[in-house]
Amino acid sequence: MTWLVNCGALGIFDSGVGGLTVVRAVQELLPREAIIYLGDTARVPYGSKSPETIRRFSDEDVRYLLQHDVKAVVVACNTATAHALPMLEQKYRVPIIGVIEAGVEAVLADPNSQRVGIIATRGTIASHAYQHALAQRRTGLRIIAQATPLLVPLVEENWLNEEATKLVLQKYISPMLDKGIDTLLLACTHYPLLVPMLQEITAGAVRIVDSATTCAEHLRRELLRLDLLNEGEGDGILQIGLTDLSEQFEELAERFLRRLPPRITRVELG
Ligand code: DGL
C-alpha cells in the first residue's frame, strides 16, 4: 500500500492492536509527530511464543517500518522489547526505543519504591528483562514478578467491569499485596485498560505505573536528545496497518486508542 506520510514519521509496532495504548499516549504528548503503526494481528499473541520466534517476528516488523523511511522505531510490545530489543538495536542504525527502559525509569523515579510487583505476559516475565533492569539499578529492591496470561483475552473481550475479571485480578494481585508491594508495574500493552479495576483492588494503596504513558515520555526525551523531534506546524497523521483484519479489529482499535481510528489497512510483511 502507499502511505500518505513516510519520511520523518515515527514507526510504532506491536503484536496486535494493544500497542495503540502507546500510540494514544504518544499522540497526547507529541501531537505533531506523524505515526505509522504496524500491528501483527495475523500472529498475535507474542506473549506465549518462544524467544526465537518473537525475535524473528519483531525483525520482520522493523524491516517493514524501515521500508517506509521512519526516523525512529518504537517497540510498543513489552514481550518484543523483552526478547528482541538488544538484537534489533545491534542490527539497525535507526533509533529503536522499547517500553522497558521507560517503565523501569518511572518505577525508580520514586525513591520510596522498595517492593515492586510486575505483571506481564509469560514471555516478558520469563525473559527477566524487567527484573534485571530494576535490580541492576536499585540494590535491595524487592521484586515480585507474576505472569498474568489471562488478562490479554479478558481485555480483548472488553470484560473491563466483569466480576470474573475482578476475581482473576484478585487471584494474581492478592499474593503480591500480601508481600507488601508499594508499586505495581503494568508491563503489557493491554493492562492500562485495567487501571480502574486495579485501583479498586489495591484500594489506592499501591502506585500503579503504566508503561504506555512512561514510554511516550521516554520517547520525547530520546527524540529531543537525537534532535529528531518534529517542530513543524499542525498535527501529525496516524496510519494503521494490520497483518490481519479480523471481525472486531475496528472496535478493538477504538477501545485501545480511545477514539475512532483512521481507516485501517491490511499489510503484508516480508
Ligand atoms: N503486546 C503484548 C505485550 O505487551 C501483549 C499481547 C501479546 O501477547 O502479544 O506483551
DSSP letters, 107-160, are: HHTSTT--EEEEEE-HHHHHHTHHHHHHHHHSTT-EEEEEE-TTHHHHHHTT-S
Q: Are residues 113 and 191 in the same domain?
A: yes
**What pLDDT shows up at residue 233?**
82
Q: Within this chain, do residues 123 and 202 fall inside the same structural domain, yes or no?
A: yes
Alpha-carbon distance of 257 to 29, in angstroms, equals: 14
Atom of ligand 1 nearest to the CA of 82: 10
- DSSP-derived secondary structure letter, 41: T
> Are 20 and 47 in a shared domain?
yes
* 7 catalytic per annotation: no
Going residue by residue through the chain, which has 270 residues, state the pLDDT in tens, using 9 for 90 and above.
444 444 589 999 999 999 999 999 999 999 999 999 999 999 999 999 999 999 999 999 999 999 999 999 999 999 999 999 999 999 999 999 999 999 999 999 999 999 999 999 999 999 999 999 999 999 999 999 999 999 999 999 999 999 999 999 999 999 999 999 999 999 999 999 999 999 999 999 999 999 888 999 999 999 999 999 998 888 999 999 999 998 889 999 999 999 999 999 999 997
Helix (H, G, I), strand (E, B) or coil at 186: strand
Q: Is residue 3, in this structure, part of any structural domain at all? A: no
Classify residue 1: in a domain, yes or no: no
Q: Is 5 a domain residue? A: no
Q: Tell me if 224 is assigned to some domain.
A: yes
SS3 of residue 100 by DSSP: helix
Tell whether 91 and 219 lie within a shared domain.
yes
Per-residue model confidence (pLDDT) at position 270? 75
192 assigned to some structural domain = yes
What is the reported pLDDT for 17? 96
Q: Which residues 6+ apart lie within 8 Å of 190 measured at CB?
A: 18, 21, 151, 152, 155, 156, 256
| Cell matching residue 3 | 502511505
Residue that is last in its domain, among 164, 192, 211 = 211
In a domain, 2, yes or no: no
Q: Are 58 and 88 in contact (CB under 8 A)?
A: yes
Q: Give domain status of residue 197, yes or no.
A: yes
Do 184 and 119 belong to one domain? yes
Same domain membership, residue 94 and residue 25: yes
Distance 232 CA to ligand 1 centre (A): 33
Residues 133 and 184 in one domain: yes
Ligand 1 atom nearest the C-alpha of 44 is: 9
Q: How many independent structural domains does the chain possess?
A: 2
Are 91 and 124 members of one domain? no
Structural domain span for residue 76: 10-98+214-266
Does residue 141 sit in the same domain as residue 119? yes
Q: Whose CA is nearest to atom 1 of ligand 1?
A: 77
pLDDT at 6: 43
Q: What is the pLDDT of residue 232?
A: 81
CB atoms within 10 A of CB 215: 31
Q: How far apart are CA 51 and CA 104, in angstroms?
A: 21
Residue that terminates a domain, selected from 211, 227, 248: 211
Considering the domain architecture, whether residues 244 and 151 belong to the same structural domain is answered as no
Last residue of a domain, one of 166, 191, 211: 211
Which CATH number characterizes residue 247's domain? 3.40.50.1860
Indicate if 107 and 94 belong to the same structural domain.
no
Query: Do 204 and 158 have their domain in common?
Result: yes
Predicted local confidence at residue 247, as pLDDT: 85
Mutating to test ligand 1, I would choose from 190, 211, 244, 252 the residue with most ligand atoms within 8 A of its C-beta, which is 190
The DSSP call for residue 234 is S
By the 10 Å C-beta count (0-12 exposed, 13-18 middle, 19+ buried), 206 is classed as: buried
CB 178 within 8 A of CB 69: no
Q: Is residue 128 part of a domain?
A: yes
Residues framing ligand 1 (Cβ under 6 A)? 14-16, 18, 44-47, 77-79, 121, 124, 152, 188-190
